[in-house]
Homo-oligomer: A and B are copies of this chain.
Amino acid sequence: MAVDRARVLEEAAALLARRSTSSMDEIARAAGISRATLHRHFAGRDALIRALEQLGIEQLAQAMDAARLDEGDAAGALRRLVAEAQQVAGVLAFLFTENQLFEGEEVNAGWARLDTRIHALFRRGQEEGDFRIDLSATWLTEAFYGLVGAGAWAVQDGRVARNDLTHSIAELLLGGIRRSMEK
């Protein structure tokens, strides 16, 4: 088995992050293998997407681990999370829109766990008095995904510099647009 499933998934993720409609053939070529081999390792497009979803979930979970969401103040944790999530942003944006299509179907339970963790982070910030409470933690979670996704696309299209992205997202989330009085 010369083909590394993980490597194929990485390539697929990178390609689909750019062109979400890439065909199996394009994905195979991007991964440097033939379409036949791609099908040997993944039952079909659906299976590939599922595997990709699983990978994205694991990577985001790792990003959360690395961000140590429970340590320090919530603001710092959020900053670390944004920074760590940057790596996965592309796939995340893809999976985000992809999930939008599965209307009725049950969503991967993995997402629920991740949502819970982010939700808990915002909740903690609110309970510790750092975050405002008139914006629900649920909405903040959605906003987080939205900004990460929008940021990934903006970078992809060259409208925003990749180096600024982490700072841009974190600062917007934390401080908003208004000129801050403090600091």
A contact residues vs B (CB 8 Å cutoff):
18-21, 75, 78, 97, 100-101, 103, 122, 125, 129-136, 138-140, 142-143, 145-147, 149-151, 153-154, 159-160, 164, 168, 171-182
A132-B179, A139-B168, A149-B150 given; 7 more Cβ-contact pairs under 8 Å: A21-B101, A136-B164, A139-B154, A143-B147, A145-B150, A171-B176, A174-B176
Contact A171 B135 (CB under 8 A): yes
CA distance A173 to B174 in the complex (A): 10
Looking at the complex, which one of B133, B153, B173 makes contact with A176 (CB distance below 8 Å)? B173
| Chain B residues with CB under 8 A of A149 | 146, 150
**What chain B residues lie within 8 Å of A75 (beta carbons)?**
177-178
Least distance between A123 CB and chain B CB atoms (Å) = 12
Complex interface: chain B residues within 8 A of A178 (CB): 75, 130-132, 174-176
Q: How far is the CB of A129 from chain B (nearest CB, A)?
A: 6
Inter-chain CA distance A139–B157, complex, in Å, is 12
Q: Is the beta-carbon distance between A146 and B138 smaller than 8 angstroms? A: no
Task: Report Cα–Cα, A135/B130, bound state, in Å.
Answer: 22
Quote the shortest CB–CB distance from A55 to chain B (angstroms). Answer: 21
The answer, among B19, B129, B136, B140, for a CB contact under 8 Å with A101, is B19
B180 touches A132 (CB 8 A): yes
A176 contact set on B, CB distance < 8 A: 171-178
B153:A100 contact, CB within 8 angstroms: yes
Q: How far apart sit A149 and B48, CA to CA, in the bound complex (Å)?
A: 27
Are A143 and B172 within 8 A (Cβ)? Answer: yes
How far in angstroms is the closest Cβ of chain B from A169?
A: 8
CB distance B177 to A131 under 8 Å? yes
- Could you pull out 22 A-B pairs where Cβ atoms are within 8 angstroms? A19-B103, A20-B100, A21-B101, A100-B153, A125-B177, A130-B178, A131-B178, A132-B175, A132-B177, A133-B179, A134-B171, A135-B177, A140-B177, A142-B150, A146-B149, A146-B151, A149-B150, A172-B173, A173-B176, A176-B177, A181-B181, A181-B182
